[in-house]
């Protein structure tokens, strides 16, 4: 075992604290992710042939925020701790205690897209293509916040990249939060941004959504190879993890959207 490990840069999870008021990095990552996604949506909406107005873009961000928060919390309750919250149902509403699921948040946003599109008379998959390009922003910032909190750390390693996390015991572990920030966040953002800049890309409805879903369906399971599974769940069949299983449907749906997007070309 390599006894040399990188020094974990201990950062106070609370950015600012004034009396009972505290601003945490994790909350700030959500706020920054939503604001940056909103501004990027405005840019992408101009490239889309939908003619979506800025007022509607501004309106949708409220819907998406509710989808992320409510869906993310509901997903965590259902996917990760159903037994606990069955015995403590009121704690399911205690979002300030932590516990959010990306896959639940995704389902919440998809529902928000569908309902918003019906009310505003837009094709829901076309709105989904715009939203898909912005999602990696929040993913990247969220993983960085996980790193700052010293949570969701990686598996024990003798790699030179290993770090001793404050709550992870005395052995070096992979900084898997940063791996996931790079894969699920930065890499997906660069790929989708490049695609979104291509002429006529928004006419192939479903393509960008498919690239995001399948891209996440690959990068999340890959990142899980270095991430320590949640203690109360552990490893599943064949050494797999809950995150990998939840990402499999995303990969399949994403591939289907990419293949069928040729049939959705608009003129």
* Greater model confidence, 29 or 85: 29
pLDDT of residue 153: 95
Contact 184, 220 (CB under 8 A): yes
Does the structure show a pLDDT above 90 at 84? no
119: tokens are: 């009310």
pLDDT of residue 179: 97
* H helical segments located in the chain: 25-47, 54-79, 82-87, 102-120, 124-149, 176-180, 188-196, 207-224, 242-260
pLDDT of residue 197: 95
Q: Tens of pLDDT along 8-57?
A: 887 887 878 777 777 788 889 989 999 999 999 999 998 888 888 889 99
Tell me the whole-structure pTM to 2 decimals: 0.89
Does the structure show a pLDDT above 60 at 3? no
120: Cα separation from own chain's centroid: 26
Residue 73 burial (CB count, 10 A): 21
Q: Tens of pLDDT along 93-143?
A: 766 666 788 899 999 999 999 999 999 999 999 999 999 999 999 999 999
Q: Tens of pLDDT along 171-181?
A: 999 999 999 99
pLDDT of residue 10: 78
Q: For residues 231 and 22, what is the distance between their CA atoms, to the nearest angstrom?
A: 28
Residue 238 burial (CB count, 10 A): 6
């Amino acid at each position: 075992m390599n006894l040399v490990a990188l020094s974990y840069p201990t950062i106070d999870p609370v950015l600012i604290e004034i009396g009972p008021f505290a601003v945490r990095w994790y909350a700030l990552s959500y706020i920054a992710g939503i604001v940056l996604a909103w501004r990027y949506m405005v840019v992408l909406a101009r490239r889309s042939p939908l003619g979506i107005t800025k007022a509607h873009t501004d309106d949708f961000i409220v819907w998406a925020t509710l989808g992320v928060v409510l869906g993310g919390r509901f997903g965590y309750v259902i996917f990760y701790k159903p037994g606990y919250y069955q015995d403590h149902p009121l704690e399911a509403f205690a979002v300030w205690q932590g516990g959010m699921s990306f896959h639940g948040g995704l389902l919440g946003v998809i529902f928000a897209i569908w309902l918003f599109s019906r009310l505003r008379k837009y094709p829901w998959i076309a709105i989904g293509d715009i939203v898909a390009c912005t999602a990696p922003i929040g993913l990247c910032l969220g993983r960085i916040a996980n790193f700052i909190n010293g949570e969701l750390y990686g598996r024990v390693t003798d790699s030179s990249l290993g770090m001793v996390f404050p709550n992870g015991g005395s052995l070096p572990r992979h900084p898997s939060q940063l791996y996931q920030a790079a894969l699920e966040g930065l890499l997906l953002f660069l790929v989708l941004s490049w695609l979104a800049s291509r002429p006529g890309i928004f006419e192939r409805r479903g393509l960008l959504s498919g690239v995001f879903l399948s891209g996440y369906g690959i990068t999340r399971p890959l990142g899980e190879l270095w991430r320590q599974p949640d203690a109360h769940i552990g490893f599943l069949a064949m050494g797999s993890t809950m995150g990998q299983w939840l990402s499999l449907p995303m990969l399949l749906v994403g591939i289907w959207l990419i293949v069928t997007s040729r049939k959705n070309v608009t003129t």
